[in-house]
Structure 1
């Protein structure tokens, strides 16, 4: 059974340099902006003030997430928890949109079509060129990833969900079942996909779900790992 102490804190990374430039990032391994680093430290301070300690940290293979986690843990000032870094939590692969400014993409493909790719569940952008895709994958230095040819060159949100679920089933869910406290630092679309599964959100309704940068969500679960509460960290009192 799941212990009452089992808690999952879900966090989208701080602002990246491409978020600031309004570009599609996807699997491109770009770093945090100065604001993003400050955001991450602020999250660590808030977690410390609320009395959080973590047994397990889970993040993606992308540096904007791993760096956010590192800033959070340093500011939280706790011993290093067990840490899992997995490509399965990477942001959605944006295919040929990768690196494009969003306004430019809207002009090239049409604003309605780009909106459907961004917010819908089943539609994927055009695939990224194979050589560019290979360069993205090799830059991640993740030996656990499948071969380049076996990885997608574009993804819908449905594809992203299929990719994320094994990480949940094999890593996060067992930790919660053991009553552990877990910190997950991911990306807007990989976290949207996970929320769709955990909350039973419909294919159409997922379009309206937003995940803000550096705004942690504290989730608890019952013995069957159904969500019993979800509270923004900002709504929790500091521990005296």
Structure 2
């Protein structure tokens, strides 16, 4: 964890951002591309979300405001986390800007079925590259084009005001935000992914500079 070089008065006003990828969904369990499909959480996904909430609670995180996508797996995860934080009364906003990337013709297909149709190399390129979009879908760059303006307009001012913000979203919407916060290049983001239930905690000063960054992997259940 990085040591802050900002003054104590600025640190006290620093905002806290928590990013959580939703718990395991039915499509995650079946190894299917999900995108804008809307499957619910599995039993394990419910546990992952509860564990995320308990982890944040033990770390003393207090939520002032929360954001999520329009998709039920993220919304359900958020409610479970807020329950563990005893924060069900905090304002919650859902927005399509935080939706998972649109996987187009891949959505609903298993990884194996997609590889059989388009080939392993092409499917890997669609999954992991920055600017390659599957047929009828979005690239990570296209996802970032909607996610980052929302983040800059809605979230950054809250952090600058010292608010503690929780965002529960999806693998690629989280990746796009992390790419901006961590100042990663398109080449670097290719190697970054987050398992369901992963927690990332950022503490930012009033200038938007990162004071601390912590990544907490998901707790896996047998």
Query: TM-score with structure 2 length normalisation?
Result: 0.89
Contact 1:2 1:178 in 2 (8 A): no
Q: Which residue matches 1:66?
A: 75
What corresponds to 2:18 in structure 1?
A: 9
Correspondence 1:116 to 2:125: yes
Q: Secondary structure at the match of 2:174?
A: helix
Q: Does the residue aligned with 1:27 lie in a helix, a strand or coil?
A: coil
Give the alignment's Cα RMSD to 1 decimal: 1.5
Measured after TM superposition, the shift of residue 6 of structure 1 is: 1.1
State the distance in 1 between where 2:12 and 2:70 align.
29
1:45 maps to 2:54: yes
List per-residue Cα deviations over 1:128-152 (Å, max 9, x = no partner): xxxxxxxxxxxxxxxxxxxxxxxxx
Q: CA deviation at 1:82?
A: 1.3
Q: Which whole-Å CA distance do the structure 1 matches of 2:16 and 2:186 have between them? A: 27
Work out whether 1:232 is the aligned partner of 2:212. no
Tell me which moved more, 57-66 or 198-207. Answer: 198-207
Residue 156 of structure 2: aligned partner: 173
Q: What is the CA-CA distance between 1:233 and the residue it aligns to? A: 4.4
1:23-102 matched pairs, under 5 angstroms: 23-102=32-111
Q: Is the 8 A contact 2:21 2:197 kept in 1?
A: yes
Q: Give me the whole-angstrom Cα distance separating, in 1, the residues matched to 2:60 and 2:14.
A: 13
Once the two structures are superposed, residues 85-136 of structure 1 have per-residue CA deviations (whole angstroms, 9 ceiling, x without a partner) of 0000000100100000011101100100000000001110001xxxxxxxxx
- Greater CA drift, 86-95 or 204-213: 204-213
**Residues 189-204 of structure 1 aligned to structure 2 (within 5 Å):** 189-204=172-187
Which residue pairs with 2:196 in the alignment? 213
Contact 2:14–2:205 under 8 Å retained in 1: no
Shift of 1:2: 7.8
- Cα distance in 2 between the residues matched to 1:110 and 1:204: 22
Moved over 4 A (4+): none
TM-score, length basis structure 1: 0.83
Q: Note the alpha carbon deviations across 1:43-82, whole angstroms, 9 max, x for none.
A: 1111222211111101000000000000111122134211
Q: Which residue of 2 aligns with 1:188?
A: 171
2-side partners of 1:172 and 1:56: how far apart? 10
CA-CA distance at 1:163 after TM superposition? 0.7
Alpha-carbon separation, structure 2, partners of 1:79 and 1:20: 28
Gaps of 5+ in 1: 128-153, 235-240
Length, aligned pairs only: 208
**How far did residue 193 of structure 1 move?**
1.0
